[in-house]
Amino acid sequence: MTHFRERWANLPDTRRPNNHTKYAVSDGVLAGFAVFFMQSSSFLAHQRLLQSKKGRSNARSLFQVEEIPSDPQIRNLLDPLSAKYFQEDFWFLLEELKAQQRLVQFRNDLATSAIALDGVNFFSSEKISCPKCLKREDRSGTEHFYHSAITPVLVKPGRAQVLPLPPEFIVPQDGSEKQDCERVAAKRWLGQHHKHFADYSVTYLGDDLYANQPLCQLIAETYQQFFIFVCKPESHTSLYEWIDFLEKTHSVEKVTQRQWNGKHGEIWQYRFADQVPLRTGEEALLVNWLELLITHEQTGAILYHNSFVTNHAMTPANVIHLAQVGRTRWKIENENNNTLKTKGYHLEHNFGHGQQDLANVLATLNLLAFLIHTIQELVEPAYLRLRRALGARKTFFNDLRALTRYIVFDSWNDLFLFMEEGLEIAPEPP
């Protein structure tokens, strides 16, 4: 919070100079961030009451807010800001993890770090709009305004946590079709942020709309990185014509495994082929193709079926790891998007729309709060002990909100210690 306070003190202030200006722009941002961090729209109201009664508040001691603005004032202070300003805050946190050797935990069996890409909508209205809104018409001709973004996350097979990276917002000039918008935004995100991964290998994951030559070529040839993208037969007909031909000539390699899922046996069948063209034409990018089919051992029912294209070299020894990492892209929907929508972050809620960049700034602060919560699980023993003791995420945040409504804590350490003593949790020995 000290770092954020210092950085956000330099945010641009578009207001005219005025001796009666009470609230700094940084106070507006810190206060807005506090709402997302505490997952409480009423947190600031409670802190204003504490301030009036006790002359102190958790908004100041925990979030370093000097003066607590009202909700309309926060929106007015944040609306002129650009969401891009907060990208560096994500990288600051990730660089701290890297310095502590914590990012190593996200290396997979391919000796890479996997970044899943996906688009998510976080605002929709038939009446409220701004210049950065996307538009669509439903079948009845009703116009809908909405906001959407690419929300990349670091993922690893078998690890529950995901690490959100800076979002890239889809803007109207990106195109009128959803696929074109996501692809353009993904390219823009790579162009801005690929330098942060220049010193280690990354595998980008995505669904079928990312499996197109311009994006694959950009990742493989320009940035010298890897990709594993879902590749469906209906959208890659020429590629699957090659696969059919190779199958007939017995050129498709196969690996079969039996696995026990705790209830019954499963047959995992892998098929793969090297150097097939991603599209038609002489300049088609050559990719490696992989399919995984999982069936019930007794009934033969299909439990899972998907296929991927990649620029990773494939051998019978590593196709299992390739498929495992490729399937991990679902974590962006399960552990990221679903968490943001249903686990207290309320990403799709309209916290404020504004006329400039307010909706995008608020969504960015929400993602930043989620990232810090995740990092706390990785690096803060007291936070992890409390989460384990209280069970559900909802219970933990309910307790945070209740305690900070009535008691002012001098620091986060004091708050966590109070909770541990109340729950009679003994600190673990070093």
Distance CA 103, CA 364 (A): 22
- The verdict on 286 and 208 lying in the same domain is yes
pLDDT at 430: 55
Statement to judge: residues 406 and 293 lie in one domain: no
The range of the structural domain enclosing residue 319 comes to: 84-342
- Same domain for 301 and 368, yes or no, is no
pLDDT at 20: 62
In contact, 155 and 332? CB cutoff 8 Å: yes
DSSP string, 43-70: HHHHHHHHHHHHS--HHHHTT--SS---
Nearest to 293 by CA among 259, 329, 246: 259
Considering the domain boundaries, does residue 309 fall inside one? yes
Label residues 381-412 b or e (16+ Cβ within 10 Å = b): ebbebbbeebeeeeebbeebeeebbeebbeeb
Residue 319 belongs to domain with CATH number: 3.90.350.10
Mean pLDDT of all residues in 75-94: 95
| Residue 428 placed within a domain | no
Residue 155 and residue 39 share a domain: no
SS3 content of the chain, % helix, strand, coil (to 5): 45, 20, 35
Among 93-107, 168-182, 255-269, 374-388, the least confident range = 168-182
Domain count for the chain = 2
Name residue 117's amino acid: L
The tens digit of pLDDT for each residue in 98-136 reads 999 999 999 999 999 999 999 888 888 888 888 888 888
Among the candidates 299, 323, 342, a domain finishes at: 342
**395 and 310 both lie in a single domain:** no
Is 430 part of a structural domain of the chain?
A: no
Tokens of 301: 């029912």
Which stretch of DSSP H or E encloses residue 384? helix 381-390
Residues 419 and 294 in one domain: no
Alpha carbon distance 325, 109 (integer Å): 8
Model pLDDT, residue 256: 94
| Beta partners for residue 257, in sequence order | 268
Q: pTM of the full predicted structure? A: 0.91
Tell the residue number behind the tokens 């997979």, with chain if given.
108
Per-residue pLDDT at 124 = 80
Same domain for 89 and 75: no
- My answer on whether 78 and 194 are in the same domain is no
Residues 184 and 79 in one domain: no
Residue 191 counted as domain residue: yes
Instruction: Calculate mean pLDDT across residues 373-388.
Output: 91
| Cβ atoms within 10 Å of 279's Cβ, excluding its own | 16
Does 146 lie in the same domain as 38?
no
In a domain, 101, yes or no: yes
320 in a structural domain: yes
And the tokens for 187?
Answer: 């390219």
Cα–Cα distance measured from residue 94 to residue 103, given in angstroms and rounded to the nearest whole number: 8
304 pLDDT higher than 60: yes
Under the banding of pLDDT at 50, 70 and 90, the label for residue 345 is confident
Per the DSSP assignment, residues forming a β-bridge with 18 are none
Mean pLDDT within 75-96: 95
> What digits encode the pLDDT tens for the residues 13-35?
887 777 567 889 999 999 999 99
Q: Of the residues 296, 313, 342, which one is the last residue of a structural domain?
A: 342
Task: Output the average pLDDT for the chain.
Answer: 90
Residue 429 inside a domain? The answer is no
Chain segment 274-286, per-residue pLDDT in tens: 999 999 988 999 9
77 lies in the same domain as 107: no
105 and 230 assigned to the same domain: yes
| 407/49 Cα distance (integer angstroms) | 11
Boundary-marking domain end, from 342, 370, 395:
342
Which residue is it, tokens 């008691």? 407
Structure tokens at 27: 């106070």
